[in-house]
Amino acid sequence: MTRILVVEDEPGIAFALDADLRSEGYAVTIATTGDEALRLAGSATYELILLDVMLPGKDGFEVCRKLRRSEVRTPIILLTAKSHEAEKVMGLEMGADDYVTKPFSPRELRARIKAVLRRSTDEPGEVVRFGDIDVSVARCEVHRGGQVVDLSALEFKLLTAFVRSRGRVLTREQLLDEAWGRGVVLNDRVVDNHIVGLRRKLEADPTKPRHFLNIRGLGYRFDV
Ligand code: CA
C-alpha cells in the first residue's frame, strides 16, 4: 500500500485530504506541525509527503529543507496558499518535487500525486521517448529517428536533469547546479542559450517547442 504523510494544521483540510486519499486506496498519516512531520518522516517510510507551507512553528519550507539536508529523499508536494511565483521558486529550490496552490480540486491533487509517484518509481535504465527522440540516460545515448544525436557534455547533463524531473518545473539555478555544478556562478542567460541548443537538436520545430517549455517567471519544464 502506498503511504502518504499529510502535514496540515487546519483540521478541516486535513480531514478532507485524509478521507479523499483513503478512498483512493492510500494509507494516510496526518501530522499537524513541522516538528511532528520531521519526526515521522525520519522514523517511518512514506512514498510521498504532502506538505502545507503555512504551519505554526517551523513552516513547510523549513521542514522541506531539513528533510533534504538529512538525506530524506521522499517526494514532496508543497501545498501553497498563495500563487506567488517567488514562493513556488523557493519551494522548488528547497527540494520540493512539485507544488499545488490552495484552493485545489481533489482531482488536480490526485493527478499531481500520481505523476510524482510515477516519476519516483521509474527504472534508472529505461529509455525515455518523446517525439522521434529516444534518450537512454544510463548509456548516455540520444537517438533521433534511429540516428545518433550529437550533444555536447553540457547539453547531455541538462537533458538528463530534464528527463529525471519530467513534468516538473526546474529553476534556472537548479539547472545550473545540475549541469555546471553547485556553486558555479554564471549568468542565467547561459542556461537559456543551451536550451536553445537542445531545442534545435531535439524539437521537431525549435521555434514552437513542445518538450522544453519555458515557464514564465519560474524556469523550464520538460514534457514528454
Ligand atoms: Ca496551514
Ligand 1: centre distance to CA 66 (Å): 18
Pick from 30-39, 63-72, 133-142 the range whose average pLDDT is largest. 30-39
How many angstroms does the Cα of residue 98 sit away from the middle of ligand 1?
17
CA of 165 to the centre of ligand 1 (A): 27
Q: Distance from the CA of 23 to the center of ligand 1, in angstroms?
A: 23
How far, in Å, is the centroid of ligand 1 from the Cα of 150? 48
C-alpha dihedral sign at 145, 148, 152, 154:
positive
In angstroms, what is the span from residue 120 Cα to ligand 1's centroid?
Answer: 26
Going from the Cα of 119 to the center of ligand 1, the distance in angstroms, rounded, reads 27
Å from CA of 158 to ligand 1 middle: 35
Query: Nearest to residue 154, comparing CAs of 176, 136, 170, 133?
Result: 176
Q: What is the pLDDT of residue 209?
A: 96
Q: CA angle at residue 147 from 141 to 151, to 5 degrees?
A: 45
| Entry pTM | 0.63
Q: Reduced to 3 DSSP states, what percent helix, strand and coil does the chain have, rounded to the nearest 5?
A: 40, 20, 35
Please give the span between the terminal C-alpha atoms of the chain, in angstroms, as a whole number.
28
221 by Cβ neighbours in 10 Å (0-12 / 13-18 / 19+) ranks as: middle
Q: Give the domains, in start order, of the chain with CATH numbers.
A: 3-121 (3.40.50.2300), 127-222 (1.10.10.10)
Using the mean position of ligand 1's atoms as its centre, give its distance from the Cα of residue 133 in Å. Answer: 43
Q: 180-198, pLDDT tens digit by residue?
A: 887 777 888 899 999 999 9
CA of 96 to the centre of ligand 1 (A): 17
* Residues 94-105 pLDDT 10s: 888 888 988 889
Tell the residue number behind the cell numbers 556553486, with chain if given. 183
Question: Which H helix or E strand runs over 65?
Answer: helix 60-69
